A = this chain, B = another copy of it.
Amino acid sequence: MPNRFLDLKKFWLFLIPALLLAATIGGAHAGELRGTGDLGIIIERAASRIQIIETTTQTKLFTVEGMGDLSHASVVYSRDARYAFVFGRDGGLTKVDILTGTIVKRVVQGGNSIGGAISQDGRLVAVSNYEPGGVKVFSSDTLELVADIPAVYDGDMLSKTVGLVDAPGNRFVFSLYDAGETWIADFSNGDTPKITKFKNIGKLPYDGLITPDARYYIAGLFGEDGLSLLDLWHPEKGMRRILDGYGRGEEPLPVYKMPHLEGWAEASGTLFLPAIGRHEVLVLAMNDWKEIGRIPVHGQPVFAMARPDGRQVWVNFAHPKNDVLQVIDVETRQIVKTMTPGRAILHMEFTPRGEQIWVSVRDRDVVEVYDTATMEKIAELPADKPSGIFLTARANKTGL
């Protein structure tokens, strides 16, 4: 039956392109259909690369290359937790689709940048720049420039900007390192921000945080021994100094690494914060902003992070004592565990309900995952010189 033979041959001729078509239709969903609640990003600092991971079974899903200079990189997420906005040191702002592991768009928006934030409504992404000093604000959808806010002071000087965070009401708050000012840029009435400036807040503000209730902005001062506090419910009252002279009368130690204020920890109405240059974690009462205790620790603390339920604070340290991780019990303020995962512990991130903590151990090229109840290691993932770790739960939070 030659005809039948011909048919079969033709069948394949037609089937192959049809299968390719099928694959194409399937391929429109190159990423797997999955929830984004348990995803996150690990920065591979030296390799200009990020890993996309999931925390349920602790695996890597994708590697994304070509991310520029990722020193001091940080990440925020779109409100649907599908897109990551990665802020690089080279002024790069990269929008990554974490479901497909691909770069959606990348712009180099400044010469030297440090950190960013996403507005409460998810519409705007702001980047804080050292060079030229100021904040640029982009559409989270297209990465097109929406607003440019040069950090002008003393006539025509431009200040480095630091401590950029989002606040309720589509506001961004940031500080001017050189000028000693804090500004609020309010986008609640559209793309032209209303700027409110607070002057003389103290010398050399170097970072800022918003308390977990999103009410207070606190700028850490590098040029003075204290912090500056702004009540965002009452900006008309201006900023006031807190913990003034907390190191007074004591010999300051050389500062090997600036602590990060983003990691300041709130637990049971107290803030746990790394003291600059001292081997101490300070404990601050949030009702009157007074120091109520100091906890001696292994070295100069960099991050002091509270488990989401506020029962533990995990602390890492500056060079040369950066191979140690300590856990403080909040109730007794005692160190209950000291671990030595390896040199250069650069960052930690809790899963949102606190059962795991992910820890970057740069010089061992691994990220370790601990069960926070037992404080035992439960997983280890290879990573090339890992630094920051950022989980999608951040999409739901204010002030990061």
Q: Which residues of A contact B (CB under 8 A)?
A: 7, 10-11, 14-15, 18-19, 21-26, 28-29, 31, 33-39, 54-56, 77-83, 99-100, 120-122, 168-170, 188, 213-215, 233, 267-269, 286-287, 308-311, 331, 351-355, 373, 392-393, 395-398
Q: Which residues of B contact A99 (CB under 8 A)?
A: 33-35
Contact A18 B14 (CB under 8 A): yes
Task: State the Cβ distance, A76 to closest chain B Cβ, in Å.
Answer: 12
Q: Which residues of B contact A38 (CB under 8 A)?
A: 79-81
Query: From DSSP, what is the main secondary structure of chain A's interface residues?
Result: loop
**Quick one: given A77-B37, A120-B353, are A287 and B269 in contact (CB under 8 Å)?**
yes
What would 30 A/B residue contacts be, using CB atoms closer than 8 Å?
A18-B22, A19-B21, A21-B22, A23-B25, A26-B28, A34-B82, A35-B78, A35-B80, A37-B77, A37-B80, A37-B81, A37-B82, A37-B396, A38-B79, A38-B80, A55-B79, A79-B353, A120-B354, A121-B355, A170-B355, A213-B309, A214-B310, A215-B268, A215-B309, A269-B287, A309-B398, A353-B396, A353-B398, A393-B396, A396-B396
**Quick one: given A26-B26, A355-B120, are A82 and B35 in contact (CB under 8 Å)?**
yes
**Quick one: given A352-B397, A397-B352, are A31 and B33 in contact (CB under 8 Å)?**
yes
CB < 8 Å neighbour of A79 from B15, B37, B268: B37
Contact A100 B33 (CB under 8 A): yes
Closest to A393 in B: B396
- Other A-B pairs, 18, CB within 8 Å; known A10-B10, A37-B396, A214-B354: A14-B14, A15-B18, A22-B25, A23-B25, A33-B100, A34-B80, A35-B81, A36-B80, A37-B81, A37-B392, A38-B80, A55-B79, A81-B81, A121-B355, A168-B354, A214-B310, A215-B311, A353-B397
**Quick one: given A29-B29, A37-B80, A392-B37, are A169 and B353 in contact (CB under 8 Å)?**
no
Contact A213 B82 (CB under 8 A): no
CB < 8 Å neighbour of A25 from B26, B213, B393, B398: B26
**Quick one: given A14-B15, A120-B355, are A215 and B310 in contact (CB under 8 Å)?**
yes
